Amino acid sequence: MNGTSSGFGMRFLRISLLAFTLFLLSASMVEAEAVKILIQNSPLAGSQYYAASSVWSEIRVGDRLALIREPENRHDRHAIRVEWNGHKLGYVPRAENRAAAQALDAGKTLEARVTRLREDPDPWKRIEFAVYLNL
């Protein structure tokens, strides 16, 4: 009886450890970050005309940017406005906005983040951002 009860105890312990390990693995997978695919890295277009200079000192590399489609924009039917905390900063450059516009129009989730900030007299070199497709 002693041999069988200790064998049962060892099996129970192994099964319990396996169950606990599986629980930890599944919990960590739930908390894992979503898969992101880099679509583009671009300079911010038109920043000299909008709020970029007034909020410059508050913007940080890594900050999230909002991408808002403007299909009725009279200058560019693929226009995507870029905002930071509700402030219009500029646009995704016209030469680079078609794929992102199509993705947004198709209901895909895109994420944009500031990747570079530079004090530069050329407004096209001041703010760079990356656009990711979230899967």
pLDDT beyond 60 at 2: no
Q: Which of 11-15, 84-88, 119-123 has the lowest mean pLDDT?
A: 11-15
**At residue 5, does pLDDT exceed 60?**
no
The yes-or-no verdict on residue 3 having pLDDT over 80 is no
Output the pLDDT for position 12. 55
Q: Which residues are CB-contacts of 100 (< 8 A; sequence separation ≥ 6)?
A: 39, 40, 67, 80, 92, 110, 131
pLDDT tens readout for residues 64-96: 999 999 999 999 999 999 999 999 999 999 999
Q: What is the pLDDT of residues 43-56, one digit of tens each?
A: 999 988 888 888 98
- The CATH code for residues 36-134 is 3.30.70.2330
Indicate if the pLDDT at residue 15 is higher than 70: no
- Tell me how far apart the terminal alpha carbons of the chain are, to the nearest angstrom: 55
Domain ranges of the chain: 1-32, 36-134
- Would you state the structure tokens that stand for residue 131, as one six-digit string? 């656009």
In the chain, the percentage of residues whose pLDDT exceeds 70 is: 76
pLDDT of residue 61: 97
- Residue 42 C-alpha from the chain's centroid: 14
Rg (CA), the chain: 25
Alpha helices (runs of H) in 32-131, residue ranges in sequence order:
52-55, 98-105
Question: Alpha helices of 32-97 — where are they, by DSSP H?
Answer: 52-55
Residue 84: predicted pLDDT: 95
Name the nearest CA neighbour of 124 among 93, 88, 85, 78: 93
Average model confidence (pLDDT) across the chain: 84
